[in-house]
Amino acid sequence: MTDPIALAVIGGTGLYKLAALEGAHALEGETIYGKPSGPLRIGRIAGKRVAFLARHGEGHSLPPHKINYRANLRRLKDIGATRVLAINAVGGITDHYGPRVIGCPDQIIDYTWGRISTLCEEPGTEVLHVDFTEPYTASLRRDVLAAASLTGIAMVDGGCYGATQGPRLETRAEIARMRRDGCDLVGMTGMPEAGLARELGLDYACLALVANWAAGCGDAGEITLEEVLANVEAATAPLPNLLEAMLR
């Protein structure tokens, strides 16, 4: 019998493969909610089994509002994953969240619309009102932060992730409103993913990689894809060490 999946990682914009994954093989599959964004890549880090899924598809073909979040999480649950580390490229709103900073937020505000955001839609399904006071799992956040501290990776502990609809970036006024609401970060994929993970009983935490200053923040001018990808690539560099330390 194979050992259990110790960690599932969902990669966001700029992270379509997990370099640290040893001996990875692809695992295709479907769920009761349809197809996930792509195959799972199953391999090992620090000797432990790890599953990786590229949220937007391996060729980044899915915009945030078209991702089948339900199928992605259901698929991870179906293969026995219990802990999910979500990696999200984000824009930084508040001062300590400048480009290339890595953060582990502790709150979310959901500004998305029209996405299927629950597993309780199907007729006959029991309606769950899951507690979401703390949207991220405290023990998984602690493990992420402890691994960062152990390996000397600078990481901001806490902050509020504002999930927007996309795929366009925000206006200056939208970001100003989000700042007033208490958001530190802005991204397009944090919800409904986190809420669905809670409904499925999966431990879930977010590693936010700051790709750019959000509209009107810091020295932001026009936000370009080149800037976003270069900063995400830089912020991704410590990931192998972080995952290794988490799984050791």
Q: Does 190 bind ligand HPA (CB under 6 A)?
A: no
Q: Among 40, 46, 56, which Cα is nearest to 8's? A: 40
What contacts 46, CB < 8 A, 6 or more positions away?
Answer: 243, 244, 247, 248
Reference 49, options 11, 76, 72; nearest CA is: 76
**Count of chain residues binding ligand HPA (CB under 6 A):** 14
Residue 110 or residue 170: which is nearer to ligand HPA going by CB? 170
User: Of 109-117, 135-143, 163-171, 199-207, which segment contacts ligand HPA by CB under 6 A?
Assistant: 163-171
CB of 31 to ligand HPA, least distance (A): 26
Stretch that binds ligand HPA, among 38-46, 124-132, 141-149, 210-218 (CB under 6 A): 210-218
Q: DSSP E strands: which ranges in 134-190?
A: 156-157, 160-163, 185-187
Determine the Cα–Cα distance for residues 67 and 73; give it in Å rounded to an integer.
11
Residues 225, 117: contact at Cβ < 8 Å?
Answer: no
118 is in an annotated binding site: no
The CB-of-196 to ligand HPA minimum distance in angstroms stands at 19
188 is in an annotated binding site: yes
Going through 64-202 in order, the beta strands assigned E by DSSP cover 83-92, 102-104, 107-110, 156-157, 160-163, 185-187
Q: Pick one of 45, 53, 196, 211: the residue that binds ligand HPA (CB under 6 A).
A: 211
CB of 229 to ligand HPA, least distance (A): 10
Q: DSSP 3-state assignment of 163?
A: strand
**Of the candidate residues 53, 140, 228, 246, the single one contacting ligand HPA (CB under 6 A):** 228
45: enclosing H helix or E strand: strand 40-45
The reply to whether 236 sits near ligand HPA by the rule CB under 6 A is no
User: Minimal CA–CA distance to 209: which of 88, 107, 64, 56?
Assistant: 88
Residue 214 interacts with ligand HPA (CB under 6 A)?
Answer: yes
Nearer to ligand HPA, 37 or 212 (CB): 212
- Which of 106, 110, 143, 170 is the binder for ligand HPA (CB under 6 A)? 170
Report strand pairing: 48-54 vs 40-45. Answer: antiparallel
Binding residues for substrate are: 188, 212-214
Point out which residues bind ligand HPA (CB under 6 A).
89-91, 164, 169-170, 186-188, 211-212, 214, 223, 228
Binding residues are: 13, 55-56, 188-189, 212-214
